[in-house]
Structure 1
């Protein structure tokens, strides 16, 4: 259950977004003329995968193309994706990023980006890259799949799932909410629930293969797209220690840089940079050129090599999302 402070923050954020959407895009671009709008996508699928359906929104190929067309009517794509090019770009340009390295970002989104002439950075979860189909996935993918599999289950089966979750400290009345709230450290709960429901998670994910392979990522780089690191196994950084934050960042960054022979080093925080302290940046300073997170865009936000982004997984208007995500100073302190 969310704390009172979390509820208050959500209400304040919702109110701020509603206010920002009333301001014309031209005003926000003029005020933040030296700030590059950066957007995030995840999945581009004809139909939602069950392991994504309850985790975040997705685009169909048609809606993804529509969003790109809308961006192209108002901005020019940033072509110089070097650290200097990103740092010095203004609000007349835009930058596309993809998080997680999902297979659809390569098979579906990449050809559309190429056809539209839109460069992009793809951030990869390094433990989930495989030379061949693998079964290791983000724990929340398991949660979403299990939520989907609850439909049609008997009351006895649902009671057993509730018992397993309650025994691990997740006793919410709503089973879907309980499954989605399990912390990374308690990931074994998903295996216990799957066993009770008769679901072979490893076999399922081997068959579906959510993530791209190393060969596919290398092909992205050969075709002119940039690659970055997105941690080793996508933890919530605020749930892990500083030492583990540093290890996840440095190890995944080294993996991407060395595997694909990169001369730049870009890292996107999984979820967001909540829980990050100055000590983290000090200990990773020599390992990363630019950091990326998810708090919006606006003047005075992109500082200390940390670049903020706006999520565009929703099939709504890209311009509306950018207006809602704008954070002019001093509101840039409220992310």
Structure 2
């Protein structure tokens, strides 16, 4: 959360949730898990199954579950929620899928095709694995220096090292593999043994059970670090992969990292590719330039009260209206 949201969260009251119920909300998560896992630990916190179940109970008590087909048929109505999950992590199958089936709550899952089957993974996940390894050796200074030289950055302490390492640009992702070799970390064994991502067979099982899937780019790059044509290819290829491999007749897509720098031209080209495509951003409760673009907010932080978070998002919506930033501008 930013400074304004932090202030609003502290000032918010969970009992105000009933005031803000006449709307459709789109919360998103990445995973739900009851213990720490090396490829995520140093990137962001996440909820355990008990906390996730509590979220579902709260959402179901205050909103009606919106079915993804209602979006495709433009049947959005007030006081509804639709869950979405990014990155195609294994937990969407092993943990989340059984819970949602039991609760009879549908959802959309956004995946990166190049990581399906666990033959390769997201460079950010590799970085978290490396930091976990360094943590076990108490951040050996020699290893830190060697890594910083690979990426040509300096640091004064361990926290600064981690910040610089996690923040390396997408263009330097191949160098992360150099570091894995440097530290004698066998990433292929990790992918094979840990199975951090979902498989085609599991996706098919979830589709057969009535769940929906969407693209999330092929490799999960920060789109603003790519050329226009590279952005377009990453997006369309990921949607096409799902349509071709699972014989689905719809197009869902969620922008990785952020949708703030996505251009009006790119959006128009995506609507030309499929006029019925539904796009998902993560800018909170804001109005985009087209009704086919849906903005979401995260409920993943386990230290935040869910009801207060939803109230905060609504208070922030009104704050943005006051300062003229409720309507998203695309260049």
TM-score w.r.t. structure 1 length? 0.86
**Structure 1 residue 177: Cα displacement:** 1.4
Unmatched segments (≥5 aa) in structure 1 = 1-8
Aligned partners of 2:251 and 2:176: how far apart in 1? 34
Aligned partners of 1:190 and 1:104: how far apart in 2? 25
Partner of 2:262: 276
Aligned partners of 2:284 and 2:123: how far apart in 1? 26
Aligned partners of 1:25 and 1:199: how far apart in 2? 48
| Aligned: 1:106 with 2:100 | no
Aligned partners of 1:90 and 1:224: how far apart in 2? 21
State whether residues 164 and 189 of structure 1, in contact with CA within 8 Å, keep that contact through their aligned partners in structure 2: no
Q: How does 1:1-335 map to 2 (within 5 A)?
A: 10-15=2-7, 24-29=16-21, 33=22, 35-79=23-67, 81-85=69-73, 87-130=74-117, 134-153=118-137, 157-173=140-156, 174-288=160-274, 289-298=277-286, 300-301=287-288, 303-315=290-302, 316-326=304-314, 327-328=317-318, 329=321, 330-333=324-327
Aligned partners of 2:225 and 2:7: how far apart in 1? 27
Aligned partners of 1:269 and 1:18: how far apart in 2? 29
Choose 18-27 or 255-264, whichever is displaced more: 18-27
- 3-state DSSP class of the match of 1:40? strand
Are residues 215 and 167 of structure 1, via their aligned partners in 2, closer, same or farther at CA, if it must alter by over 3 Å? closer
State whether residues 310 and 321 of structure 1, in contact with CA within 8 Å, keep that contact through their aligned partners in structure 2: no
TM-score w.r.t. structure 2 length? 0.87
State whether residues 28 and 299 of structure 2, in contact with CA within 8 Å, keep that contact through their aligned partners in structure 1: yes
State whether residues 150 and 158 of structure 1, in contact with CA within 8 Å, keep that contact through their aligned partners in structure 2: no
Unmatched segments (≥5 aa) in structure 2 = none
1:293-329 CA deviation, whole Å, 9 max, x = no partner? Answer: 111125x347341101111112233222222223243
Aligned partners of 1:194 and 1:265: how far apart in 2? 36
